[in-house]
Amino acid sequence: MRIYLPGTWPMLQRLVKTGHLDPIGGTAFALTPRLREAYTSGDDEELEYAAMSEAARASLRLLGVEFGLGEDGIPARRVVVAADVEDVTLRPDLDDGAVRISGSVPMDAIASVHVDIEEAEHAVRQAAEVVDAADLGDMDAEFLIGEAEDHELAWYSPSEIAFLVELG
């Protein structure tokens, strides 16, 4: 199953160093039956994009935590890692597309990496600071989330990850 793992720049750096990605809490997103039911229309490609978008929002939450811990020197970029794995458990307690995986994701299971470009960093940093408020219905915070989500994530092949991290 194709899954979308929310991440951060330090997680990409560890992926390059260790050859595997350790998702926080095993949380990922995928085209689940519940996600399919949430949309009245859309083909599989559009619904996969919706799952990736949920992972991108979860990446904002991870960034918010890192910034809260004083990690201001890291690039404010959403990171989503697409991978193909077999052992996936549905998570009906979370978002429509939420799933759980067990263990690390090896580099050879990664299909692509999606990362904000540098021009998105200001909007992403602002959004990461208010993502919790947006989740609770704050319309001003939701506007800032929308500003970040207006930036499309750039696509990278697994073979480009080390180069991407090196360039920073």
Report yes or no on 113 lying in a domain: yes
Its domain, for residue 94, covers 2-160
Q: How high is the pLDDT of residue 116? A: 96
State pLDDT tens for residues 13-60. 999 999 999 998 899 999 988 888 888 777 888 889 999 999 999 999
Pairwise pLDDT comparison (93 vs 125), residue with the higher score: 125
Give the separation between CA 1 and CA 165, rounded to whole angstroms: 26
58 touches 11 (CB < 8 A): no
Which amino acid appears at position 7 of this protein?
Answer: G
Tokens representing 72 are: 């201001």
| Ramachandran angles phi, psi of 153, nearest 5° | -75, 140
Give the mean model confidence (pLDDT) for residues 76-104: 90
> What is the number of structural domains in the chain?
1
State pLDDT tens for residues 124-157. 999 999 999 998 999 999 999 999 999 999 999 9
Report yes or no on 27 lying in a domain: yes
Q: How confident is the model at residue 72 (pLDDT cuts 50, 70, 90)?
A: low
Report yes or no on 166 lying in a domain: no
Q: How high is the pLDDT of residue 120? A: 95
Report yes or no on 165 lying in a domain: no
Report yes or no on 167 lying in a domain: no
Report yes or no on 168 lying in a domain: no
Report yes or no on 92 lying in a domain: yes
**What's this model's pTM, rounded to 2 decimal places?**
0.92
